[in-house]
Homo-oligomer: A and B are copies of this chain.
Amino acid sequence: MSDGYLLQEGDLLPLSIGAALLGTGGGGNPYVGMLRARELIRKGAQVRVLPLDALPDDAWVGEVGGIGAPVVGVEKIEEGGECYRAMRAVEEAANVRVSALISAEIGGANSIEPIIAAALAGLPVIDGDGMGRAFPEVQMTTFFIYGAKAAPAAIADDKGNVVVFKHVKDMYWLERFARSTSVDMGAAAGLAIAPMRMDFVRKTAVPGTVTQALNIGRTVQNARSRRQNVVDRLIAETGATLFFTGKITDIRRELLGGFARGHALLAGSDGYHGQEGRIAIQNENLVLWVDGEPVIMVPDLIINLDLETGEPLTTEVLRYGQRVAVIGLPVHPLMKTPEALKVVGPQAFGYPDLTFHPLELKG
Interface residues, chain A, CB within 8 Å of chain B?
A: 89, 93, 154, 159-169, 173, 176-177, 180-181, 183-184
Measured between beta carbons, the chain B residues less than 8 angstroms from A184 are 173, 176-177, 180
In chain B, what residue has the closest Cβ to A176?
A: B184
**Contact among B160, B166, B169 for A154, CB-based, below 8 A:** B166
Let me know if B166 and A163 touch, CB within 8 A: yes
Measured between beta carbons, the chain B residues less than 8 angstroms from A183 are 180
Measured between beta carbons, the chain B residues less than 8 angstroms from A165 are 161, 163-164
Let me know if B164 and A169 touch, CB within 8 A: no
Whole-angstrom distance from the CB of A183 to the nearest CB of chain B? 7
Other 5 A-B pairs with CB < 8 A, given A177-B181, A180-B180? A89-B166, A159-B173, A161-B173, A162-B166, A164-B165
Known: A177-B181, A180-B180. A164 touches B163 (CB 8 A): yes
Known: A177-B181, A180-B181, A183-B180. A160 touches B166 (CB 8 A): no
Let me know if B161 and A169 touch, CB within 8 A: yes
**Contact among B93, B161, B168 for A168, CB-based, below 8 A:** B161
Distance A243 CA – B167 CA, assembled complex (angstroms) = 49
Whole-angstrom distance from the CB of A154 to the nearest CB of chain B? 7
Let me know if A161 and B177 touch, CB within 8 A: yes
Distance A238 CA – B246 CA, assembled complex (angstroms) = 77
Let me know if B176 and A167 touch, CB within 8 A: no
Measured between beta carbons, the chain B residues less than 8 angstroms from A168 are 161, 163
List 23 A–B pairs whose Cβ atoms lie within 8 Å, in order of A's numbering. Answer: A89-B166, A93-B164, A160-B167, A161-B165, A161-B168, A161-B169, A161-B177, A162-B167, A163-B163, A163-B164, A163-B165, A163-B168, A163-B177, A164-B164, A164-B165, A164-B166, A173-B184, A177-B181, A177-B184, A180-B180, A180-B181, A180-B183, A181-B181
Whole-angstrom distance from the CB of A186 to the nearest CB of chain B? 11
Whole-angstrom distance from the CB of A270 to the nearest CB of chain B? 47
Q: Which 5 A-B pairs have the closest CB atoms?
A: A164-B164, A162-B167, A180-B180, A162-B166, A164-B166
Distance A159 CA – B167 CA, assembled complex (angstroms) = 10
